[in-house]
Amino acid sequence: MPKQLITEEDVRQAARKGLRAIPLAAGAVVTPSARDAAGALGIALTAEAKASKEASPGSVDPVVHAPTSSVPKGSGMVVALGADHGGFRLKEELRPYLLAGGHTVIDVGTHSDAPCDYPDIAYAVAKLIIDGKADRGIVIDAIGNASAIAANKVPGIRAACCGNEMAARSSREHNDANVLALGGRVMGGELAKAITLAWLTTWFGGGRHAQRLKKITDIEHRFL
């Protein structure tokens, strides 16, 4: 079977369609000009995201889903999405909502409700953000706190566990949170969607918040 070949034109076509990621089959060949174009246009080549699982604490299996609605170029985000068994069902409900909103979703699992370890999932989501392959991340476990704690161990991650829309907006406007943690067994799908929408559509306020955020970063750097 011939290998998948990704050229510069393939990347530019993906950009014209408003996509933020190109899924790569095993053994895919990506030309140097395609990699350069992907970097310039902000297109994630997701075979690299899969390879990163070798460095993660556990095994994850990222699957990329393209948005199901057309949005103006640049308005959709790449959202890394992951859940353990306690958040699996909510993840499965939230993913099509994100896709319908015009976002590309990198689903790192879990892909069933069989027991698994939330630190592996939280790490996989966090690493996609730090590596520049995702704009924001969402992690889901039974309550949300555990995944937030694990994700926050990755330098540069600011994960907030939010149980309502006000908390979600505040985490973005005041703290520039880049990971949202949700509880799959403490909230229903409609509330989770409302929280997610508020979180994705709120931007960092800057100003006095930027000075405080810098102090948080300074604390983090003392332990690196």
DSSP assigned state of 9: H
The tens digit of pLDDT for each residue in 137-175 reads 999 999 999 999 999 999 999 999 999 999 999 999 999
Helix (H) or strand (E) holding 102: none
Predicted confidence (pLDDT) at residue 21 exceeds the cutoff of 90: no
pLDDT tens digits, one per residue of 61-119: 788 888 887 766 556 899 999 999 999 999 999 999 999 999 999 999 999 989 999 99
Query: Does the pLDDT value for residue 58 go beyond 70?
Result: no
Average the pLDDT over 35-49 and give the result: 73
Distance CA(40)–CA(36), nearest Å, equals 6
H helices within 3-156, ranges in order?
A: 8-16, 32-41, 46-51, 88-100, 118-130, 145-151
3-class DSSP assignment, residue 119: helix
Indicate the class that CATH gives domain 58-222. alpha beta
| pLDDT-based confidence at residue 27 (cuts at 50, 70, 90) | confident
10 Å Cβ neighbour count for 219? 9
Tell me how far apart the alpha carbons of residues 53 and 31 are, in angstroms, rounded to a whole number.
23
**Residue boundaries of the structural domains of the chain:** 58-222
Looking at the predicted structure, is the pLDDT value of residue 53 above 50? no
pLDDT-based confidence at residue 49 (cuts at 50, 70, 90)? very low
pLDDT, tens digit (0-9, with 9 covering 90-100), for 172-198: 999 999 999 999 999 999 999 999 999
